[in-house]
Amino acid sequence: MNTNTPQTHGQTAPQSDSLTQDELKTLVGQAALQYVVRGELVGVGTGSTVNKFIDALATIKDQIPGAVSSSVASTERLLALGIPVFDANQVERLSVYIDGADEIDHQGHMVKGGGAALTREKIVAALSDKFVCIADESKLVNVLGAFPLPVEVIPMATARVVRQFAALGGQAVVRHKNGQPLVTDNGQHIVDVVGLKIHDPLAFEAEVSQWPGVVTVGVFAFQRAQVCLLGTAQGVKTLNF
Ligand code: 5RP
């Protein structure tokens, strides 16, 4: 958990008691409802914070036609709550995409992919006019790179991609689940990279995205957030970028 101080230019809803991380996630998940355009589809991310948003979304499900989902896990949760899920190819644009982040900086650039859903998340974000990030305050950083950077790779490229990160000073390891390399919703692998400080997220994303075998790098600079609803001890703080 980092201890960066949140920006002060946002609006804060007052909150008296100290809240658990889970309660902060619930708060921001509920706060995100104000950005859902009634009568329109909404883009839905992935993760424990988004799960709170999906639960909140179920309370207004009669006011929207449905959602475009960024993962099998979110699709299953949406459907279980009676929210129709549409294929991204059926949609030309979305007014808003709601998702969490592993890190977000003071310009709205993010590291994402802790839940291995980064590729579909970036696709749905790219379809959307506005990215609203929901996160607790431990995610706010001055410079991206404290959280291991997820990168989805085609398995035959893994060793070469690991060497390319080593040349940049990073150490990349293949993510495992149950003793096996984790397989994403897209049938690929994830490497997590530590030891990098990402001072120029746009340039970094542009460069790594071109490496052969890289499906998606978990830096979201081209698809950065325009809004962050940050759960803090003082309540939900709204950061506009
Ligand atoms: C999944 C993601 C998530 O948004 C990110 O990992 C944050 O998750 P959580 O809300 O559980 O902290 O990028 O691929």
* Closest C-alpha to ligand 1, atom 5: 101
Tell me the mean pLDDT in the region 36-57: 98
**Where are the alpha helices (H) located in the chain, listed in sequence order?**
21-31, 48-57, 72-80, 118-126, 158-167, 201-208
Nearest residue (by CA) to ligand 1, atom 4, is 100
- Look at the pTM and tell me if it is higher than 0.85: yes
Give percent above pLDDT 70 in the chain: 93
CB neighbours of residue 142 within 10 Å: 10
Q: Exposed, middle or buried by CB within 10 Å (0-12, 13-18, 19+), for 82?
A: exposed
Task: State the pLDDT confidence band at 18, using cuts at 50, 70 and 90.
Answer: confident
Distances 93 to 43, 63, 80, 100 between C-alpha atoms, Å: 10, 18, 25, 20
Task: State yes or no: pLDDT of 14 exceeds 70.
Answer: no
Cα(28) to centroid of ligand 1, in Å? 14
Alpha carbon distance 39, 217 (integer Å): 33
Which residues are catalytic, by number? 121
Beta-bridge partner residues of 230: 135, 237
Ligand 1-lining residues (CB < 6 angstroms): 45-49, 99-102, 112-118, 121
- pLDDT, tens only, 147-171: 999 999 999 999 999 999 999 999 9
pLDDT at residue 11, rounded to an integer: 47
Q: pLDDT at residue 185 above 90? A: yes
- The alpha carbon of 7 is separated from its chain's Cα centroid by a whole number of angstroms, namely 20
User: What residues have CB less than 8 Å from 63, skipping those under 6 apart?
Assistant: 38, 39
Please say whether the beta carbons of 230 and 6 come within 8 A.
yes
Q: For residue 8, what pLDDT is reported?
A: 33
pLDDT score of 2: 35
Q: What are phi and psi of 150, to 5 degrees?
A: -80, 140
CATH number 3.30.70.260 is the correct assignment for the domain at 149-218: yes
Rounded mean pLDDT, 87-94: 97
- Please say if the pLDDT value at position 1 is more than 50: no
Q: pLDDT tens digits, residue range 68-82?
A: 999 999 999 999 999
- Examine the pLDDT at 6 and tell me if it is beyond 80: no
pLDDT of residue 17: 60
Whole-angstrom distance, CA of residue 209 vs CA of residue 193: 15
Contact 178, 203 (CB under 8 A): no
- Is the pLDDT reported for residue 10 higher than 50? no
Q: What SS3 class is residue 46?
A: coil
Mean pLDDT value across the chain: 93
Q: Say whether pLDDT at 91 is over 50.
A: yes
**pLDDT surpassing 90 at residue 19:** no
Second-level CATH architecture of 7-142+222-240: 3-Layer(aba) Sandwich (3.40)
What does the pLDDT average to over 164-179? 98
CB atoms within 10 A of CB 45: 29
Residues of the chain with CATH 3.40.50.1360: 7-142+222-240
| Sequence ranges of the chain with CATH classification 3.30.70.260 | 149-218
Q: For residues 140 and 108, what is the distance between their CA atoms, to the nearest angstrom?
A: 10
Which of the pair, 35 or 11, is modelled with greater confidence?
Answer: 35
Number of neighbouring beta carbons within 10 Å of residue 199: 10
Residue in 46, 121, 186 to alter for ligand 1 test, most ligand atoms within 8 A of Cβ = 46
pLDDT in tens, 108-153: 999 999 999 999 999 999 999 999 999 999 999 999 999 999 999 9
Rounded to 5 degrees, φ, ψ at 7 are -60, 155
pLDDT confidence tier of residue 7, bands split at 50, 70 and 90 = very low
